[in-house]
Structure 1
Amino acid sequence: MKAGSKFLNAVSAFALSAGVVASGAGAVVVASALSAEAAVIQKIDVRGAQRAGAAAVRSNLTIRPGVNFSNSDIDESVKRLYATGFFSDVKIAVSGSTLVVTVNESQLVNQVVFNGNRKIKDDKLQSTVNTQPLGPYSEAMVKADIERIREAYKQIGRSDVQITTQTVPVGQGRVNLAFVINEGDRTKISDIKFIGNSAYSSSRLHDVLVTKESGPLSFLTRKDVYTEDKMKADEEALRKFYYDHGYPDFRIVSSDAVLNEAKNEYTLTFTVEEGARYRFGNVTVDSTVQGLDASALKNVVQTNAGDVYKASDVQKSIEAIQKKVAEAGYPFARVTPRGDRNFQTNTIGLSYLVDQGERAYVERIDIRGNTRTRDYVIRREFDMSEGDAFNQLMITRAKRRLEALGYFSKVNITTQQGSAPDRVVIVVDVEDQSTGAFGIGVGYAANDGVVLEASIEEKNFLGRGQYIRVAAGGGLNDSRTYSLNFTEPYFLGYRLAAGFDVFKNQTSSNDYYDYNEQGFTLRVTAPITETLATTFRYTYKEINYDGTNDWQTNLSQPFQDLVRGGDYVQSSISQTLTYNTLDSMTLPREGIYASVTQEYAGLGGDSQFYKISGRARYFQLLSDELDMIGQIAVGAGHVVATGDHLNVFDQFTFGGRQVRGFKNDGIGPRAGSDAIGGTTYFNASAEVSVPMPALPQDAGLRANFFADAGTLYGNDVPVASGLQSDNSIRASVGMGVTWASPFGALRFDYAVPVAKEDYDREQRFRFSMANQF
């Protein structure tokens, strides 16, 4: 044997007998020969694992007796043991044919408690931290948990929170861990600035943002809480605003949030470039798909030459064309808008190109991040499922629907390559947010004065997407209202909103009679298009009139008959057709909301009639800069008896809800001093609203100037004598203030009748919830 070979064999033997040691950062090879060739051990000796046990240590090793191993196996074994968190030190050595694993066990956490927290409850913080009872105690993990708690407090506007920890040994290697929290004061937003804006004032842009400056009621609205996610949402809101108002070149140069730690206040600054304002130029539709007539698609386009450029109209046009093309039998066709910009005339010509896209199918839909909302609640907002043709526009529509639900603070939808080139995986990332609310409503009724209503509602009941509301209210003169509302938005798996309403109302006329009604409504709403829906209802109502001691001398004949009769039953079915193109249901600036309802009563009970009524409201933004909104409303109704005659409670009542300046039943036929309603009404109104001058728009106060007109006439109730009725027009003019308060939208109106009859009843001041749709 050569001398060199003998030397190598001696080194190899020394390496195997000396062994390998691994600790801390990884494995250290004592003899380099082990790097060149694998080793084999016959057994594993575990030392120091008193609580964890030798079996738990062996299960985290990649080394097995009788199987070759190398340095990389030792490195991986050390990493796995450290990753469990149960060991503070790990050493691995080879002694002859034995692998010796020596560990020092970490302390175990016996209990985790939180002290000083009031704004965030213990269970919420417990789910935030990674350190858990019976788990290992790690300094690194505790430091990371402190940052997680700090971030949770930032989300509720407490950026100056201070967090420390205390540990108390309890024996047997266990410790109690306490997070000591000083929540501090609320971090406010002192100022929101805009730099570079000229087309719109800073005051107007403030109204676009989700984040608001701190005010006296900010502790209720929580809109003055700064987070990075809200900052990004504000940036997106600004882009959408400008893109929809003719500024396609708009961009945000920078957005900064500076915290003044001494005052615990943020200053937000948005630096923007608006660019030029554009209008639509020539608009065409072209198609490369054989057999598809492009000219037939032009009718569904919503971008018209000469109109101010609006990105949302481009998107709506794409969706409308895509839907039309799919209905024609081309599910994979793709619609691509192409712009032709004219810098001299500031116009953008549009050409919608329809071509045959690539064939792709949905392999699956992955949903992530929903901790409360059920998966099926999210899936049902997609017009596609596994195996269907992939359509990017349906993804956009689903995202819009999910955001409109109000269940999530964030919705992000992306796509990934599936298991084959023609397969697509849709990934939906959401973040649940609070959907419950406690409300206090304030109103004013002619007979009851100030009326209060307290309500509890949940828009995503048990994460099922169901709506439930319980409310109770009352006035100063013994009026009482109770209601329970429930809606299942996808009844039997279809896009049918089915629900019920249970109600009980009690009012009093003070001198003459008490009126009580109770009953229920069953309803189902079906969408016809994106803007058109129909609702069917069945209503059962029990009505009771109870006369006072003076009723015989003071009540008119219809009411005397009612009081003698005592209890009445009204059983009816109705159908409502609703058309809605409003851009917002809380503060609409553009669009139409119209509804027509027909009702038939006679399915048993004491009422027999056919009733039809309708109402339409049109909104138009009169001035972008001033945020001046114009509104025109019209309404009409007619009821006819299908039996002998109508009851008093079957006829329409008319007054301050339609023509301000009058009591709720202050207009129309009267028998003596009592309103008996009428069979026919018409009304119209015009209104202009602007933000209150000299106040920031964040205050939510708007001034309203209006003119109302209308009439109620006709009577089919038997009246012995004293009937007063005519069809003359009543009218009023006035002004008011609307406040988007934390308790709901409140409205204060003062109107002066300018056309009325002597027997009408006035009520010039009106304090109520703002008009609901």
Structure 2
Amino acid sequence: MYRHVALAVMSALIGATSAMAQTSGDTIVDISVEGLRRVEKEAILDKLKSKEGTPVDALLLTEDLRSVWNTEFFRDVRIEKERKDDGWHIYVVVVEKPSIKEVKFLGHDDLSEEDIKGVVDIKPFTILNKDQLKKNVVKILDLYVEKGFYLADVAFRIETVDGTEHEVNVVFDIVENTKVMVKQLSFVGNEHVTSDFIKSVLQTREGNELSFVTGSGTYKEEFFQTDIFRIQALYYDHGYVNVKVDPPSQTISSDRRYIFLSVPIEEGEQHDIGTIGFSGEVRLEDHNGNVLVDEESLRKRLKIESGDTFNRTKLFEDIQALTDVYRDEGYAYANVTPNSRIKKDERLVDLDLEVERGELVYFERIEVVGNTRTRDKVIRREMRVFEGDQYSASGLNESRARVYQLGFFETVNIATSRGSKPNTMNITIEIKEKSTGTFQVGAGFSSVESFIATAQIAQNNFMGNGQLLSVSAQLSFGEFARQLATLQFYEPYFLDSQWSFGLNAYITQRYFREFQRNANGFSPSFGYPITPDLRVNAGYTLEWIEVVTDAASGPSLADLNRGNGRNSAVNASISYDTRDNRLFPSSGHYHVLSGELSDRLIGSEEGLEHRRMQLFMRYYYPLPLSLVLKLNASFGIVRSRGDERVAISERFFPGGIYSVRGFEPRGLGPTQRVSVRGDPTSETFEFIVGGNKEVVFNLEIEFPIVEAAGIKGVIFADAGNAYDDDVGFFYAGTPKEHIPAAYMMGSNELLLNGPPLGLYYSFGFGFRWFSPIGPLRFEWGIPITKRGKDDRDIIFEFTIGNFF
């Protein structure tokens, strides 16, 4: 109302004096603004086209009035003028809208105020704007719909603040109502595809007894609209190329708690793939006329075949694979277009795959941005494409993966842009660095080592050179305690070559069941990648070892080679690694074959000389429902020089959470009966002396429990054993008298010929939490083959760290 009155009055006043002002040549000598409280004067003057020193213009003043009004800061705007001796004085008179003192949200029980504030853009101490309030009502409603409150209602009201008309409170009144649950989801017209199969691909689910816990069954409009496209895609992938999914019907129950959904479907006929042809720029040759790509080579890459049921997803996967063939040959803008012809009567879809190669493209410049600490060379040396190379799509993908796997960056993106010529392309590697230095002090408990205290200072990107420098210490107590301090340095590109270099120095005390092994030493090593997945390593170890037994058993073990003294050894290994993630793998393989030689010729003391070979093979397979199958097989053998028994400090001790669960830690393998205090007439006990051969098998199925929290469950089966010097693997070819006889299957059956295949077996279950301090494992192992009545029926163990 104010606006219309003001505009009418101004039009009359300005119109009556317009001619006189323009003919007299009088100018504006002053413009003032009255009524401002919060808005700056300059913000108003900037909106005016009328300026001091210019003639009074009726049309301009009318436009100025509209401009000031349109700022939406004011509930009343007037422009007045007064002629004085020195010229015209213009007065812009305004009444500001009230400012917002406080924004309140009432009636929200299921959604937090923080959630609502996250979508609302109205803030205290800003000017009240009713249009903006209406937009924010819609935003809040959209949030409730997203959370499943399909029937929520939101309104706003304005409260005056006592004692002033210049400030108000904005109140959003929210009526959440209950979440709408999907009571029934049905389909009409699906004769060939079952309703259960359709439901299996949808986000929308019917509610059940556990919906109040899991949240499943809540109706969300956005999800349901996406599900309509999922239904179409499902039919396309099963040959129904003419399927039609009509708009669904929705019915709300009388109490507004449930929704009934019905989706009409016209399936049409199922079609198979007819002929598959190629056209366009298919054949590709190099400069010497050698064929790089032709129709035959493309057909070998196709997963679809004539006669198969038409599947749109597989077709698009094949299209991408064919496109990548040309892009890996340098044709960055290659395109493969599927032209289809539907033969309705024959129920066939003929395909013509048309190839457009475009121009051959070369990389011109490679630029790295965002690296404030990491040097360019650390990133560039991981690239699989270089300036001047032909374009390669797989090379770019591999480059990004390698840079990300460094672990120094939160995000790694590779952007491409056209170069200075039509056939050139620039690469920009955009990274966001993250903290690579850590200082950790922690304490915890483990069923293996009781109380554990740890401390570590590490820099994974030392001086921005991509090197690792770490100092760590661990102190634990209990029957299987250990104390260690380590210094580690690793250079992945030694002297800017493909060779890696590592150096470890350590002081350790490790407690076994019947003895303690102390070792101080260091170990340098070098490595070289033969292929991206295949790597060789070689190193040297020099350490001083001391084996300590208790006073009671010490005298009776005089004939046992304890392995005290200096150990000097060279080692080598070859590894093959295709895991998708080195910390939490879900697919791929990891195999390592290693050997170690300790000999007096290179400085080892008598009794510590040995030759060791170890092999472990690990397999990871993704299964449906986010399950992961993990398999591990480990073999080891160590032999001493000549006929001397292998030192106890170098032998194998399987058992426990790191090898064969369900048995005591390091409790499997050969034993030797010894007497207390060396008295042959006193009581004897079994002293575990370890084996010179070891076999361990593990099978696990890992599954998500609370995926967002990093909690997973696991079921497992283990088998393993260690064998003495005069016993073969699996007891093969071993005389019966050399096989221990005291074995039990279950609770009472005696295995007179030892355990089956010479292995101890167990199974069990557990869960794992990938917590901020590292992976925590809680596992229960149940032995199948017992060594006697002393073995427990079930063993619970927990620890920090991954298994395999």
TM-score bracket, shorter-length normalisation: 0.5 to 0.7
Q: Is the 8 A contact 2:238 2:311 kept in 1?
A: yes
Aligned partner letter, 1:353: V
Aligned to 2:450: 479
**Which residue, out of 163, 178, 187, partners 2:179?**
187
In the TM superposition, what is the alpha-carbon distance from 1:305 to its structure 2 partner?
3.7
**Which residue, out of 107, 131, 142, partners 1:140?**
131
Aligned partner letter, 2:445: G
Alignment of 1:522-561 (within 5 A): 543-545=508-510, 551-553=550-552
Q: For structure 2, which runs of at least 5 residues remain unmatched after alignment?
A: 370-375, 406-412, 494-498, 516-548, 674-685, 727-737, 742-753
Q: Check 1:84–1:293 CA distance in 2 against 1; reply closer, same or farther (3 A cut).
A: same
Cα distance in 1 for partners of 2:16, 2:394 equals 62
Cα distance in 2 for partners of 1:255, 1:594 equals 50
Cα distance in 2 for partners of 1:525, 1:107 equals 65
Alignment of 1:358-507 (within 5 A): 473-475=444-446, 479-480=450-451, 504=474, 506=476
Q: Check 1:750–1:639 CA distance in 2 against 1; reply closer, same or farther (3 A cut).
A: closer
Q: Check 1:349–1:614 CA distance in 2 against 1; reply closer, same or farther (3 A cut).
A: farther
**Which residue, out of 757, 761, 766, partners 1:729?**
757
Cα distance in 2 for partners of 1:266, 1:488 equals 56
In the TM superposition, what is the alpha-carbon distance from 1:72 to its structure 2 partner?
8.3
In the TM superposition, what is the alpha-carbon distance from 1:136 to its structure 2 partner?
0.7
Aligned to 1:110: 101
**Which residue, out of 74, 80, 87, partners 1:87?**
74
In the TM superposition, what is the alpha-carbon distance from 1:294 to its structure 2 partner?
1.7
1:508 paired with 2:506, answer: no
Q: Check 1:630–1:361 CA distance in 2 against 1; reply closer, same or farther (3 A cut).
A: closer
Aligned to 2:331: 330
Q: Check 1:106–1:356 CA distance in 2 against 1; reply closer, same or farther (3 A cut).
A: same
In the TM superposition, what is the alpha-carbon distance from 1:333 to its structure 2 partner?
3.0
Q: Is the 8 A contact 1:485 1:499 kept in 2?
A: no
Aligned partner letter, 2:577: T
Cα distance in 1 for partners of 2:329, 2:388 equals 20
Aligned to 2:122: 131
1:508 alignment partner, SS class: coil
In the TM superposition, what is the alpha-carbon distance from 1:280 to its structure 2 partner?
9.6
Aligned to 1:167: 159
The one-character-per-residue Cα deviations of 1:482-540 (angstroms, maximum 9, x if unpaired) are 7799999999999x99898968474633xxx54455668778999xxxxxxx9998777
Aligned partner letter, 1:108: S
Cα distance in 1 for partners of 2:385, 2:56 equals 51
Aligned to 1:617: 619
Q: Check 1:117–1:132 CA distance in 2 against 1; reply closer, same or farther (3 A cut).
A: same
Aligned to 2:527: none
1:653 paired with 2:640, answer: no
The one-character-per-residue Cα deviations of 1:428-455 (angstroms, maximum 9, x if unpaired) are xxxxxxxxxxxxxxxxxxxxxxxxxxxx
Choose 219-228 or 319-328, whichever is displaced more.
Answer: 219-228
Aligned to 1:287: 282
In the TM superposition, what is the alpha-carbon distance from 1:24 to its structure 2 partner?
7.8
In the TM superposition, what is the alpha-carbon distance from 1:325 to its structure 2 partner?
3.1
Cα distance in 1 for partners of 2:156, 2:561 equals 72
Q: Is the 8 A contact 1:542 1:570 kept in 2?
A: no
Q: Is the 8 A contact 1:612 1:638 kept in 2?
A: yes
In the TM superposition, what is the alpha-carbon distance from 1:106 to its structure 2 partner?
0.8
**Which residue, out of 5, 28, 41, partners 1:42?**
28
Aligned partner letter, 2:292: D
In the TM superposition, what is the alpha-carbon distance from 1:87 to its structure 2 partner?
0.8
2:48 alignment partner, SS class: coil
- Number of aligned residue pairs: 675
Choose 336-345 or 170-179, whichever is displaced more.
Answer: 336-345
Q: Check 1:221–1:320 CA distance in 2 against 1; reply closer, same or farther (3 A cut).
A: same
Q: Check 1:489–1:545 CA distance in 2 against 1; reply closer, same or farther (3 A cut).
A: closer
1:52 alignment partner, SS class: coil
**Which residue, out of 46, 49, 52, partners 2:39?**
52
In the TM superposition, what is the alpha-carbon distance from 1:60 to its structure 2 partner?
1.7
Cα distance in 1 for partners of 2:723, 2:704 equals 37
2:357 alignment partner, SS class: strand
Q: For structure 1, which runs of at least 5 residues remain unmatched after alignment?
A: 1-19, 368-375, 405-411, 427-459, 527-533, 693-699, 717-721
In the TM superposition, what is the alpha-carbon distance from 1:544 to its structure 2 partner?
2.8
Alignment of 1:244-323 (within 5 A): 253-254=246-247, 262=255, 264=257, 276=270, 287=282, 291=286, 293-295=292-294, 297-298=297-298, 301=301, 303=303, 305=305, 314=315, 317-323=318-324
Aligned partner letter, 2:47: N
2:126 alignment partner, SS class: coil
**Which residue, out of 357, 361, 367, partners 1:355?**
357
Alignment of 1:7-26 (within 5 A): none
1:109 alignment partner, SS class: strand
In the TM superposition, what is the alpha-carbon distance from 1:237 to its structure 2 partner?
6.4
Cα distance in 1 for partners of 2:315, 2:36 equals 67
Q: Check 1:688–1:120 CA distance in 2 against 1; reply closer, same or farther (3 A cut).
A: closer
Cα distance in 1 for partners of 2:325, 2:220 equals 42
Cα distance in 1 for partners of 2:449, 2:579 equals 38
The one-character-per-residue Cα deviations of 1:302-350 (angstroms, maximum 9, x if unpaired) are 6254877766655555555444434434333334445577775868767
Aligned partner letter, 2:634: A
Cα distance in 1 for partners of 2:426, 2:18 equals 44
Q: Please tell me whether Structure 1 or Structure 2 has the larger radius of gyration of its CA atoms.
A: 2
Cα distance in 2 for partners of 1:42, 1:148 equals 47
The one-character-per-residue Cα deviations of 1:707-753 (angstroms, maximum 9, x if unpaired) are 7665554679xxxxx99799963679999889999999999988773
Give percent identity, aligned residues only: 17
In the TM superposition, what is the alpha-carbon distance from 1:771 to its structure 2 partner?
9.6
Cα distance in 1 for partners of 2:228, 2:354 equals 28
In the TM superposition, what is the alpha-carbon distance from 1:576 to its structure 2 partner?
5.8
What is the alpha-carbon root mean square deviation over aligned residues?
Answer: 7.5
2:159 alignment partner, SS class: strand
Cα distance in 1 for partners of 2:327, 2:389 equals 13
Greater relative contact order (CA < 8 Å, ≥ 6 in sequence): 1
In the TM superposition, what is the alpha-carbon distance from 1:287 to its structure 2 partner?
1.3
Q: Check 1:333–1:735 CA distance in 2 against 1; reply closer, same or farther (3 A cut).
A: same
Cα distance in 1 for partners of 2:611, 2:300 equals 41
Q: Is the 8 A contact 2:490 2:502 kept in 1?
A: yes
**Which residue, out of 632, 636, 639, partners 1:638?**
636
The one-character-per-residue Cα deviations of 1:370-423 (angstroms, maximum 9, x if unpaired) are xxxxxx9xx99999999999999999999999999xxxxxxx999999999999
Aligned partner letter, 1:508: G
